[in-house]
Copies of this chain bind each other. A is one copy, B any other.
């Protein structure tokens, strides 16, 4: 495949940036003496998983059963499905464990879930390692580190032969909303302290708590201490995006993934350049709007670059149309004739990447490979 002949919209991966992002995180984990269990919900790609685990123990994190199957089928044997488990998913996870000789670790945050899952597991002869999910401030899943129910859940787990208590797990997702590096550091400290406190409480009450698993890209990259932590689970760092750049966690030059699009029209009356990448090709995520008002649905670069063109953004998305608008400048109609190719730097790359079947991987301006990926559920 020649770059100029790629279909649009399509997903482009810049190999050098991806490799650098993976290397930096792997070094950071090694330097701090923690295991790296990268979250592959972002890239959903076996090649990225291999690069991201290079030099580490090979554990992965995923957020769908389809991803668990995809990575297990391709040789990964220690996978944490990091979304609260329900008994309806037990059969399929057991099938993956059995057929592929893999361990699928599950997470839960209630005795009710532990009981329901253990009963189904026992009925079909399954056994799972379980992390108790801790809420260290994100307010999504998890029990508070000091919650009384933490011990009840641990009791429910250890009393059931189909479950094994592996440790505690937390995700400081609210770090994505921080207004400064200082605030990220504060959240990172809470994330670590909350997870370690929960683990200590379990141990004081006689439970084994081998793993203390934390991590989001912002907190892991800004944390001062990993004391008491055994593993980290960042994900978006592999590809990065405009949201992470706007948060100050990376530069736009670190964004490894983009969407190649074609100019399909000029609407000079309305003041738009139209491209064939819309809401499905990019997602309608507007996360960077928390930090800056000049991004809207994504930034735009020329096809041979990943340098955002100043004063241009995707102001509106329809299902398969993206509308580029200018602010504080005029639209460069002449530099973007109908048929020209552009790249869009995604706002939230996890959502942008998800529906595609594959990446076209670019190195030194050439398409060096096509990489398949997981999708769906």
Compute how far the CA of A218 lies from the CA of B355 in the bound complex, rounded to whole angstroms.
Answer: 28
Q: Which residues of B contact A64 (CB under 8 A)?
A: 320
Do B86 and A351 touch across chains, with their CB atoms under 8 A apart? no
Give every chain B residue within 8 A of A350 (Cβ-Cβ): 319
- Residue in B7, B89, B375 whose beta carbon sits within 8 Å of that of A92 in the complex: B7
Given A41-B320, A320-B83, A338-B86, does the pair A274, B140 have CB atoms closer than 8 Å? yes
A252 located at the interface, meaning its Cβ lies under 8 Å from any Cβ of chain B in the complex: no
B-facing mask of A1-25, CB < 8 A → 1, else 0? Answer: 0000101111000000000000000
Which of the candidate stretches A50-58, A107-115, A154-162, A202-210 sits at the interface with the other chain? A107-115
Within 8 A of B (CB), among A267-296: 267, 269-270, 272, 274, 276, 279-281, 283-286
A189 CB–B CB distance under 8 Å: no
Note all chain B residues with C-beta closer than 8 A to A173.
318
Q: How many copies does the complex hold?
A: 2
CB proximity to B under 8 Å, residues A189-237? none
**Contact assessment for B276 and A86 in the assembled complex, using a CB-CB cutoff below 8 Å:** yes
Asked, given contacts A116-B338, A264-B141, A281-B377, whether A8 binds B272 with beta carbons under 8 Å apart, the answer is no
A319, B116: Cβ atoms closer than 8 Å:
no
Q: A84 — which chain B residues lie within 8 A by C-beta?
A: 264-265, 274, 276, 321, 338
Complex Cα spacing A276 to B88, Å: 11
Partner of A139, one of B263, B269, B338, B377: B269
Tell me the interface secondary structure of chain A in the complex. Answer: loop
Distance to closest chain B CB from A143 (angstroms): 9
Report how far A212 CA is from B65 CA in the complex, Å: 47
Q: Which of chain A's residues 150-187 have a Cβ closer than 8 Å to chain B?
A: 173
A144 located at the interface, meaning its Cβ lies under 8 Å from any Cβ of chain B in the complex: yes
Q: Are A267 and B86 in contact (CB under 8 A)?
A: no
A355 touches which of B9, B110, B323, B375 (Cβ 8 Å): B375
Q: Is the CB of A354 within 8 A of B351?
A: no
* Candidates B63, B265, B321, B323; contact of A113 at CB < 8 Å: B265
CB pair B109 A265 closer than 8 Å = yes
Q: Return A123 CB to nearest CB of chain B, in Å.
A: 14
Q: A7-B377, A63-B320, A355-B375 are in contact. Are A264 and B112 (CB under 8 A)?
A: no
15 A-B contact pairs sorted by A residue (CB < 8 Å):
A7-B65, A7-B92, A63-B320, A112-B337, A112-B339, A133-B265, A140-B274, A140-B323, A141-B265, A141-B267, A141-B321, A144-B269, A279-B351, A283-B283, A319-B351
Additional A-B contacts beyond A7-B65, A10-B377 (18; CB < 8 A):
A7-B88, A7-B377, A64-B320, A84-B274, A86-B262, A86-B276, A88-B339, A109-B265, A110-B338, A112-B338, A140-B274, A141-B267, A280-B355, A281-B377, A283-B284, A319-B350, A354-B355, A356-B376
